[in-house]
Structure 1
């Protein structure tokens, strides 16, 4: 076990919440050790929408300039950019193409790829983390404050809260090449047996998310059940402007699914550690509010932490 020394703050997870928080605390002068289990570009079918309220929080955090460009059409192809892309009109839904982990190279942030396996607890206080690199080497990192932001699949929830997970539905996701009836907005369809969302993820592509509620058996993609379900059950409620693009997308077969969990939690009040974001309390992805709430919580947390920063740096 290799000792990596003591930082001011350890942040577990470099998604939207963790990387924005690392940037924020590093800008305030804190030595931050950011540990992320997978630094490759994320490929997801949810978590791409940032509501206007979230963009205002980006402004408060000084992250509004982290855009791919500043032209009149700032949405660029999601496959060619690793930067945060937003729409300038505050009345529009904002689209996030990728996580904001591109901003953590600045200030006093050290980012490292590794899987945090456990929290280090001494006499009822969290002192840091143990983590493993891709090569299997084990390390320990210490800090007076550890912040867990590693999302809904966190393996650390059991240390800091009484977790409760209820799977309430599935998302069926596919990508359509078309224009929306209401451009630059999320288009919500409520008419029919299910709920669907359509929103732009690039200048030419639209994400379609279909809610499949439980209880119920999700049609199998591998067994060929999904395409007939989408064509016979879902397609009749598709708006006429999107129908042909929807059928073409189904025929391409690039269909993905993911479970949607309701994840309330009762935190344990353990000194030295804090939960933020989906790791603590995941919201239904259909609201499009996860990133907005996470960024709002980061602003609140930064403001609460600022009067205590001297104690953190003195302790470290």
Structure 2
């Protein structure tokens, strides 16, 4: 009997050891097959489960999101293609609404010590006439205003704040693809700074790799439009006609912008419709700026503008617009310019990005464990709806204003442009309403639509009073029709239901699920 139990014991021990060897071999081979699914050279960058969230990109959206999530105790891995200071001619004006978001995130010190300038409103110019449009800041703390600055300095301050947190890994590397398994994003594949092929794993990957994103096609249906191009110059040793204000000149063929980016420098952005611009290298661009643009510049800035052309430091950038059209993917989310862009005329991009960061941070706060991938995906679908009122209002305003502010030979469009200038010049609610929307202080979709058609009706009144004629009545009818043709297609692209009825959200979105 003792020998029987002895052999039984030995058999169980051998079976147990065999099972353990099989399990270790099986786990090891499955991990190797995952890692080599797309790239046989890739290696895991960190142990699975050690990172809660991967953030691709360390621009405005990526850096501020990483900071917000890390402050909430998440382990965050940020991968940025280039950690040197960026040099861009947009992303230099943060509206007051965006500054309030910066305050909510605890990042307001990122606009200090970079010679950022306070901005208190706009000045609008048209054919020698001007109108001052202040931000409605009376009910806010004196520190609340717009901020304008060198884009690269602001980004570096954000990155410094992120890198200081112990639970953030900020790494320079180029993300080549999302790592997917059975339709779920498990992480990213990327090349490190020294050329190694690596894979990073996390329950959630947030893609914020900017307007040139090479990952967005995996997560949305991009419809990128390029309505125009900005030509950027820096003016020195001059003062704006209205200090601490952005200046918009309704020029021919499209607007020209001026705003301070430091105590001694003024940014000038010349909009050129279409995707083709005069060549810089052949001198075509300099000649275009001297002969076509300079005569339309306010006298106070004319000499500095010509001097800037002579220095030759001219840069160009395509202006892109793209409505957010995601297809929800378990394990991944799109944010920033990788997901949604609008014409930069109104300077609303950073306000939208920071607002999106706050929406996502607040959504994730009650979620203790991010590993419930399918439940998390369903829950995070509400992000795309909750962001809509602010984002869509700013997007729609940017697209509509750009079309109205561009010059045209069409009489109805000419009247709409003139009506818009005069409407805003009336002051009171006629300027406070639109400017509060533009500044991100009161982004109400319905208010935007009402003001837009109030401009059209004001234009109609200008035509019909005191005595209407058949020609004027015909132009007025085309003006109303043209206004509808401008704003309604933009609203349709943004999503009518999400924009105007954001509370129509499934119940499981409104109450955080228990994810364990």
Same topology, TM > 0.5? yes
TM-score norm. by structure 1 comes to 0.91
Deviations 1:154-206 (A, max 9, x none): 10011101111121110000000121111222111114332111011111000
The equivalent residue for 1:295 is 354
The equivalent residue for 1:38 is 82
In the TM superposition, 1:1-316 aligns within 5 A as 1-4=42-45, 5-6=47-48, 7-69=51-113, 76=115, 85=116, 87=118, 89=142, 92-97=145-150, 98-99=154-155, 100-105=158-163, 106-177=165-236, 178-214=238-274, 217-308=276-367, 310-312=368-370
- Give the Cα–Cα distance (whole angstroms) in 1 for the partners of residues 263 and 74 of structure 2: 38
Q: Residues 246, 142 of structure 1: CA spacing in aligned structure 2 closer, same or farther, 3 A cutoff?
A: same
Q: Residues 86, 55 of structure 1: CA spacing in aligned structure 2 closer, same or farther, 3 A cutoff?
A: farther
- Give the Cα–Cα distance (whole angstroms) in 1 for the partners of residues 310 and 322 of structure 2: 34
1:114 alignment partner, SS class: strand
Structure 1 residue 269, shift from structure 2 partner: 1.1
Deviations 1:260-313 (A, max 9, x none): 1122242111111000111001111111010011001111111011111x1127
Structure 1 residue 314, shift from structure 2 partner: 8.9
Compare CA radii of gyration and give the structure with the larger one. 2
TM-score norm. by structure 2 comes to 0.56
- Give the Cα–Cα distance (whole angstroms) in 1 for the partners of residues 142 and 260 of structure 2: 15
- Give the Cα–Cα distance (whole angstroms) in 1 for the partners of residues 111 and 159 of structure 2: 13
- Give the Cα–Cα distance (whole angstroms) in 2 for the partners of residues 68 and 288 of structure 1: 20
* Alignment RMSD (CA, Å): 1.9
2:70 alignment partner, SS class: helix
The equivalent residue for 1:72 is none
1:58 alignment partner, SS class: helix
- Give the Cα–Cα distance (whole angstroms) in 2 for the partners of residues 118 and 199 of structure 1: 38
- Give the Cα–Cα distance (whole angstroms) in 1 for the partners of residues 255 and 215 of structure 2: 32
Deviations 1:30-72 (A, max 9, x none): 0000000000000011111100100100111111133434xxx
Unaligned runs of 5+ in 2: 1-41, 119-140, 374-515
Query: Is contact 1:127-1:144 (8 Å) kept?
Result: yes
Query: Is contact 2:117-2:263 (8 Å) kept?
Result: no
If each structure's helix is expressed as a fraction of its own residues, which one has the higher value?
Answer: 2
Query: Is contact 2:117-2:262 (8 Å) kept?
Result: no
Unaligned runs of 5+ in 1: 70-74, 77-84
Q: How many residues align?
A: 301
Structure 1 residue 93, shift from structure 2 partner: 2.6
Structure 1 residue 91, shift from structure 2 partner: 6.2
- Give the Cα–Cα distance (whole angstroms) in 1 for the partners of residues 246 and 76 of structure 2: 36
Query: Is contact 1:92-1:184 (8 Å) kept?
Result: no
Q: Which has the higher contact order (CA 8 A, sep 6+)?
A: 1
- Give the Cα–Cα distance (whole angstroms) in 1 for the partners of residues 222 and 362 of structure 2: 27
Q: Residues 95, 134 of structure 1: CA spacing in aligned structure 2 closer, same or farther, 3 A cutoff?
A: same
